[in-house]
Structure 1
Amino acid sequence: MRVQHTKARQRGISFIGLLIVAALLACVGVVVAQVIPTVIEYQAILKAANKAKEGTTVPEVRAIFDRAQAIDDFKSVTAADLDVRKNGEKVVVAFAYEREIHLFGPAFLLLKYKGESN
């Protein structure tokens, strides 16, 4: 009786490949972990801008925004940075700012945030 030897084709990832994939996932995870707080801060600023649009004058809008800023504790945008304008009878509060995240050496990730009350 003859035993037939067939070479089974191996599938999968090598150990070196696994290390490379793990390193890439770790790098992406570190960047995402630094970006998430800036997104949460943007949402808090947008919430404060939507609350501030209830004011009727520019000083009142800025005061409402300052109170919301003190509650949510964000520092990227102050009341002086707001662009307050009227669109018909509606008050529109707009803002824009940038955040830099240091990646490595001379490399930075620049995030530009812009929003307005709705």
Structure 2
Amino acid sequence: MNHTSQRGVSLLGVMIVGAFAAFLLIVAFRTVPVFNEYTAIKRIVGILANDIDNGTSVIEARRNFDRRKSIDDVSSVSGADLVIDRSGGKTVVEVQYARTVPLVANVSLLFELSPSSEVR
């Protein structure tokens, strides 16, 4: 008679892998909105930099940001937070902000972001 041992994952192994996968899913679900907002802000400041280069005033650009941010559901920054540099040949619009994302209990993630219209 041929006796072969069973191979596979134990119940404890499945539970540990499942808990780890659940934690990763929680982190992913909580951080996706942060990156969606970042890309929306980056897109808006790029548009504003082009508008300023084409003759829009800085005050009007800030107002345009506030209008666009409500459409794109941006809540972390406002037009007053924008840093607009017109010293070079091209206008650079940028903003720095931090966003805290609560994970579980008193554990949070801190994102320090600085979207800019400058191509790096």
Q: Normalising by the residue count of structure 2, what TM-score does the alignment of the two structures yield?
A: 0.84
Q: 1:102 to 1:92 in 2, by over 3 A?
A: same
Q: Which residue is equivalent to 2:15?
A: 19
Give ranges in structure 1 of 5+ residues lacking alignment: none
Check conservation: 2:30, 2:103, Cα contact below 8 A: no
Aligned-pair identity (%): 34
- Residue 51 of structure 1 contacts residue 64 of structure 1 at CA under 8 Å; is this kept in 2? no
Shift of 1:65: 1.3
Please tell me whether Structure 1 or Structure 2 has the larger radius of gyration of its CA atoms: 1
Higher RCO (CA-CA < 8 Å; seq separation 6+): 2
- Distance in 2 separating the partners of 1:82 and 1:38: 18
Aligned residue in 2 for 1:90: 90
Question: Which residue does the alignment assign to 1:79?
Answer: 79
- Distance in 2, matches of 1:61 and 1:49, equals 9
Two-structure CA RMSD over aligned residues (Å): 1.6
SS at match of 2:92: strand
Query: How many residue pairs end up in the alignment?
Result: 114
Structure with more of its chain in strand, by fraction:
1
Counterpart position of 1:58: 58
